Amino acid sequence: MPKRPTLQDVADAVGLAPATVSYALRGERGSDDTVARVHAAATALGYQINPIASALATGRSRTVAVLCGSTRDLWQQSLTADLARQLLSEGRHALVADADGHPEREEALLAKIRDQRPDGLLVAPLDPFASQWEALASQLPVVAIGDRLALAPSAGAVVFDNAAGFALVFDHLADLGHRRIAAVLPERPSTPDRPAERLVAREARRCGIVVDLVRTPPATADPATMTDHLAAALSGPDRPTAAFCLTDSFAFGMLRAARTLGLDVPGDLSVVGFEDVEFADLAGPGLSTVDWGRGAVVDAAVGQLLAAIDDDQPLRTVTIAPRLVVRGSSGPAPSPS
């Protein structure tokens, strides 16, 4: 079998010390000309960095763990993919884990992630109050998306201006003449960064709207079960004329429920989501929703995590502003019969 090229072979080819070649290959030291010469020689020889040896030498694995609440949720599915792509473009490997909507599974996965010793963690937490966050954030940089980790003040966060988002939705529905809406919220309790019930109550008072709170099974539930659950909320003589859904996955479920009941969207029922997933414009008449700028979320989360890993920069909280995207699923309230 042919001999596998070594670091010494690359060093001999460019006439530099092995340590200098190693730094250049990792992009840590060396002029642009030196780095280019070293990479060209490594490519010509077919040399590849040994990731285990590199991790031992630098104390860095160049791996970042990405833990999501549930990839069955459409926005988290896209977010996880975008985080992995961004990390790859920065020369990092993503170790992706999925809690599938179960906090106890999230806890078990965190223990396994610690054993893998990644350089950092990006997480969309199911339970931001869990006790393990404090210990984990003391061992490696952690950036949470959606919620701050209450017991880990050293962790960074990318959170959403939910108060502004709720105000945009309620103003939109009130301007269209809706006076009774269903607010479709997850079964899990609200958190300080996502105080859904409080914001719904505040905006309902401000706009003079009656709200029916609808607690919905998570995205991991059987679609038929979710459809039946939401259809029940639309039945009866005094049904709401609009539905505000806290995720686009819920909104798509509401569109299915309306179809099951023979309700026209938006003639009989307006539906508004809260994420603007990639194909929201393809669902039925096109889903009105709130865009959180997933690209900005990814840039903020990955950017500050890598700055903490590479340059020991302090982590911080970044707040993302919303934008209402109006499409065909929301329209004027139907006239009273």
Q: Does the pLDDT value for residue 34 go beyond 80?
A: yes
Closest-CA residue to 283 (of 244, 230, 247, 327): 327
Helix or strand run (H / E) with residue 197:
helix 196-207
Q: Is 256 in contact with 227 (CB distance < 8 Å)?
A: yes
Q: How does DSSP classify residue 322?
A: P
Using the predicted structure, report yes or no on whether residue 58 has a pLDDT greater than 70. no
How large a percentage of the chain has pLDDT more than 90? Answer: 61
No. of H helices and E strands in the chain?
Answer: 12, 12
As a whole number, mean pLDDT of residues 107-117 equals 89
pLDDT of residue 197: 94
pLDDT band at 29 (very low <50, low <70, confident <90, very high): confident
Structure confidence at residue 283 (pLDDT): 75
pLDDT for 203 equals 98
pLDDT score of 54 more than 80: no
Work out the pLDDT band at 192, boundaries 50, 70, 90: confident
Q: What average pLDDT does the segment 135-159 reach?
A: 93
Instruction: Answer yes or no: is pLDDT of 39 > 70.
Output: yes
pLDDT above 50: residue 124: yes
Residues pairing with 63 in the sheet? 93
pLDDT at 235: 86
**Most confident by average pLDDT, 3-7, 155-159, 214-218, 222-226:** 155-159
In this structure, are residues 330 and 172 in contact, taking their beta carbons and an 8 Å threshold? yes
What average pLDDT does range 49-73 have in this prediction?
A: 73
Q: What is the mean pLDDT of residues 31-53?
A: 80
Work out the mean pLDDT of the chain and round it to a whole number. 89
d(CA 214, CA 219): 15
Q: Residue 294: which pLDDT band, with cuts at 50, 70 and 90?
A: very high
pLDDT band at 337 (very low <50, low <70, confident <90, very high): low
pLDDT of residue 195: 93
* For residues 263-281, average pLDDT: 94
DSSP 8-state symbol, 219: T
Fill in the DSSP letter of residue 161. Answer: -
pLDDT at 56: 46
Nearest to 144 by CA among 162, 130, 128: 128
